[in-house]
């Protein structure tokens, strides 16, 4: 039976999608996991894979055309199968994608050729209508400053890996780009020579301005340079798709820590892995050329090996994250503010001065938590920390108190359907907050492995922008430094942040007797616009119960 493939909603704000490229044509055999097309959304270009086996019987939107979300994009079924009844639901989208060719009376078999001609014609017209500075010689590719996060307005070149005149191959690292959240490798998608560098090392430039130009050796690119470094407004659909693809892959394609090579993974599988908190480097692909597909994520069984290896290095890594400064008597020194430091200052100031903070502090008896941790760590391939236990208990408490898992907007309060816990990590430039997606659905081993992995990559500037977005609540832990209690500034758009102190052995009163006990203080900073005092107190009561009686997490 034929399967109708509709235009997917690939982002929350997407209303229609444009087909940047078809990887299959009508009549081609299609297998589950095959890339059908590249869909251009309002944010990026993403691969769209098939979930079915069969033959591509119908294409609802031609290459270069667009159609609304949920309209018929394609139909897959058995060769020769009658699908006339299924096509009817796509009249609007089909006409949107093919009206130009139909109006011209072009036969079906010539549409693809005509589309190519139209694109080439568009290129010619745009070059003729654009200014001289916007003209692009044959074989030359203009690389613009990518938007590597939703809030990024400019990028700083932390380091160039290529210099003028160097040969560049597809996949080579061109530069390290410092955004408002992290430093990320930026790789080339083209072959050629580096003809122009628009931003010197240590300099910054706005998103979409010319970062570099790649092309055949000796090509004159002065016309492009004289345009002032601004991206042409008349860029073609093809160039637009390439630019968006470059941004998407750089921002969200995971990079293997050991080899520097990208992990081949489908967008659907990647989204599922993020939602489940699975490190894509731990997955083994069964798709074409070892590509990770949906079923690989569904069948994945996590291992605690990563957590075991990293456990002994946690405190050393935190200390290593602090910047090293030499003190010279009587001599002042300066450290230029990094992009990350500037953004930290801006965001924390906005949070402190716009959100009415108040603080709740509670002392937890950790005796049973200590016993529970010893028993858990006695299991094979298991090594968890108290921080992992706090994160798990916090995520479960947020389930019962959704008001704390909310965000303030001018006209409404958004209660999030997912519990995504941000974990504050110290880096040389300040602080980043990698996010555990759906932390309430993760077990201790998964939380431990994910935290160790992301904390390690944060310190080596290996985190991706999408790994630091989407938090609904945050946790900050200074207990390893012996800090008994402290208060944190809310990490907006969250409405609360939990500060975790050290476990202290001290005299406590138990059953009317003074005995030695182990206690830990938790401080909850709340945005009073969203979380009232009673609501915050009830959340802490639940969290306290989970930590003092660990077995209640199983109820």
Q: Which of 247, 231, 244 is nearest to 40 (CA)?
A: 244
Least reliable range by pLDDT among 228-237, 340-349, 497-506: 228-237
Say if residue 295 is exposed, middle or buried (CB neighbours under 10 Å; 0-12, 13-18, 19+).
middle
Best CA proximity match to 157, nearest among 112, 229, 211, 88: 211
Q: Is residue 442 pLDDT above 60, yes or no? A: yes
Q: Which residue has the higher pLDDT, 161 or 13?
A: 161
In the predicted model, what is the mean pLDDT of residues 534-549?
96
3-state DSSP helix/strand/coil % of the chain, to nearest 5: 35, 25, 40
pLDDT at residue 346, as a whole number: 86
Which residue is associated with the tokens 């938590």?
369
Told to judge if 161 belongs to the known catalytic residues of this protein, a careful annotator would answer: no
For the stretch 447-488, pLDDT in tens is: 999 999 998 888 877 787 788 889 999 999 999 999 999 999
Q: What are the tens digits of pLDDT across the range 198-248?
A: 888 888 888 888 889 999 988 888 777 775 444 434 333 333 434 344 444
Buried b (16+ CB within 10 A) or exposed e, 213-237: bbbeeebebeebeebebebbeebbb
CB-based burial label for 370 (10 Å; 0-12, 13-18, 19+) = middle
* pLDDT score for 180: 65
Q: Is 21 exposed, middle or buried (0-12, 13-18, 19+ CB in 10 A)?
A: middle
User: Among residues 23, 161, 357, 528, which one is catalytic?
Assistant: 528
Average pLDDT over every residue of 7-32 = 84
**Residue 312 pLDDT > 80, yes or no?**
no
Q: How far apart are CA 413 and CA 535, in angstroms?
A: 15
**Cβ-proximal residues to 434 (8 Å cutoff; 6+ apart), any chain:** 422, 423, 425, 454, 455, 458, 463, 467, 468
Packing angle of the helix pair 386-400, 533-548 (nearest 10 deg): 130
Q: Please check whether residue 292 is in contact with residue 283, taking contact to mean a CB–CB distance below 8 angstroms.
A: yes
pLDDT grade for 420, boundaries at 50, 70 and 90: very high
CB 454 within 8 A of CB 469: no
- Mean pLDDT score of the chain, rounded to an integer? 79
Task: Verify whether residue 532 is a known catalytic residue.
Answer: yes
Residues listed for the chain: 555
Evaluate if residue 250 carries a pLDDT over 60: no
Q: Is the dihedral of CA 431, 481, 367, 443 positive or negative?
A: positive
| pLDDT tens-digit series, residues 299-308 | 787 554 444 4
pLDDT for residue 325 is more than 80: no
Full DSSP string of 243-310: HHHHHHHHHHS-B-TTT-PBP-B-HHHHHHHHHHT--GGG----SGGG-B-HHHHHT----SHHHHHH
The predicted structure's pLDDT at residue 489: 96
Q: What is the pLDDT of residue 509?
A: 92
The predicted pLDDT at position 531 comes to: 97
Tell me: pLDDT of 1 over 80: no
Least confident stretch, 80-89, 158-167, 241-250, 333-342: 241-250
Q: For residue 456, which of 297, 318, 251, 334 has the smallest C-alpha distance?
A: 318
Average pLDDT over residues 26-39: 89
Bridge partners (DSSP) listed for residue 527: 357
Between 34-48, 188-202, 298-312, 474-488, the lowest mean confidence (pLDDT) is in 298-312
What pLDDT is attached to residue 46? Answer: 80
In terms of DSSP bridges, do strands 66-68 and 16-22 run parallel, antiparallel, or are they unpaired? antiparallel
pTM comes to 0.51
- Tell me the two tokens of residue 88: 């009817």
Report percent pLDDT > 70 for the chain. 77
Residue 324: the pLDDT is 59
DSSP state, 197? Answer: E
Point out which residues pair with 423 in neighbouring strands. Answer: 475
**Residue 475: which of 434, 430, 533 has the closest Cα?**
434
- Regarding predicted confidence, which is higher, 462 or 12? 462
Residue 356's alpha-carbon distances to 178, 344, 351, 408, 496, in angstroms, are 31, 19, 9, 12, 11
**Which residues is 363 bridged to in the sheet?**
521
The pLDDT-based confidence of 187 (bands split at 50, 70, 90) is: confident
- d(Cα 438, Cα 473) in Å, to the nearest integer? 11
Helix (H) or strand (E) holding 115: helix 111-129
Q: Is 169 exposed, middle or buried (0-12, 13-18, 19+ CB in 10 A)?
A: exposed
Report percent pLDDT > 90 for the chain. Answer: 37
Q: Find the helix or strand (DSSP H, E) in which 93 lies.
A: helix 91-103
User: What is the structure's pLDDT at 116?
Assistant: 41
More confident: 190 or 280? 190
- Residue with the larger pLDDT of the pair 300 and 321: 300
Residue pLDDT, tens place only, 502-517: 999 999 998 899 999 9
∠ CA 364-365-368, rounded to 5°: 130
The pLDDT assigned to 231 comes to 40
pLDDT of residue 275: 66
- Report helix angle 533-548 to 367-377, nearest 10: 50
């Amino acid at each position: 039976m034929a399967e109708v493939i509709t235009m997917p909603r690939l982002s929350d704000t997407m209303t229609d999608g444009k087909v940047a490229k078809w990887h299959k044509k009508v009549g081609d055999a299609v297998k589950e996991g095959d890339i059908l097309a590249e869909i251009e959304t309002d944010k990026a270009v993403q691969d769209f894979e098939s979930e079915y086996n069969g033959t591509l019987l119908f294409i609802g939107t031609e290459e270069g055309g667009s159609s609304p979300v949920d309209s018929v994009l394609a139909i897959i079924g058995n060769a020769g199968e009658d699908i006339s009844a299924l096509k009817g639901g796509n009249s609007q989208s089909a006409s949107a994608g093919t009206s130009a060719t139909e109006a011209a009376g072009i036969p079906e078999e010539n549409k693809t050729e005509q589309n190519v001609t139209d694109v080439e014609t568009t290129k010619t017209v745009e070059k003729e209508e654009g200014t001289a500075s916007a003209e692009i010689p044959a074989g030359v590719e203009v690389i613009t400053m990518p938007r590597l996060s939703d809030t990024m307005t400019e990028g700083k070149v932390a380091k160039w890996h290529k210099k003028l005149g160097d040969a560049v191959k597809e996949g080579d690292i061109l530069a390290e780009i410092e955004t408002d959240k992290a430093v990320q490798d930026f790789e080339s998608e083209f072959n050629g020579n580096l003809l122009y560098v628009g931003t010197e090392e240590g300099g910054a430039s706005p998103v979409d301005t010319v970062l570099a130009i790649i092309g055949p050796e000796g090509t004159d690119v002065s016309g492009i340079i004289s345009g002032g470094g601004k991206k042409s407004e008349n860029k073609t659909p093809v160039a637009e798709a390439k630019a968006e693809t470059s941004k998407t892959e750089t921002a969200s394609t995971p990079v293997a820590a050991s080899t520097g090579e990208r992990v081949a993974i489908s967008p659907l599988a990647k989204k599922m892995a993020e939602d489940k908190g699975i490190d894509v480097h731990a997955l083994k692909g069964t798709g074409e050329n070892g590509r990770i597909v949906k079923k690989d994520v569904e069948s994945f069984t996590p291992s605690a090996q990563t957590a075991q290896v990293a456990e002994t290095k946690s405190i050393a890594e935190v200390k290593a994250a602090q910047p090293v400064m030499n003190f010279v008597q009587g001599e002042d020194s300066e450290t230029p503010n990094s992009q990350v430091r500037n953004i930290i200052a801006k965001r924390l100031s906005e949070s402190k001065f716009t959100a009415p903070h108040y603080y709740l502090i509670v002392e937890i008896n950790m005796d049973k938590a200590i016993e529970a941790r010893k028993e858990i760590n006695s299991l094979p391939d298991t090594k968890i920390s108290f921080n992992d236990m706090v994160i798990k208990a916090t995520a479960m408490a947020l389930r019962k108190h959704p008001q704390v898992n909310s965000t303030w907007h001018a006209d409404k309060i958004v209660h999030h359907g997912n519990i995504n816990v941000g974990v504050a990590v110290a880096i040389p430039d300040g602080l980043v907050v990698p996010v555990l997606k759906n932390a309430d659905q993760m077990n201790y081993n998964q939380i431990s492995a994910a935290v160790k992995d992301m904390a390690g990559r944060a310190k080596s500037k290996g985190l991706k922008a999408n790994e630091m977005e989407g938090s609904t609540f945050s946790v900050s832990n200074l207990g390893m430094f012996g800090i008994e209690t402290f208060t944190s500034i809310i990490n907006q758009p969250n409405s609360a942040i939990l500060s975790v102190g050290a476990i202290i052995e001290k005299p406590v009163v138990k059953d009317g007797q003074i005995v030695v006990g182990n206690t830990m203080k938790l401080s909850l900073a709340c945005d009073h616009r969203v979380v009232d005092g009673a609501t915050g107190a009830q959340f802490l009561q639940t969290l306290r119960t989970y930590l003092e009686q660990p077995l209640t997490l199983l109820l």
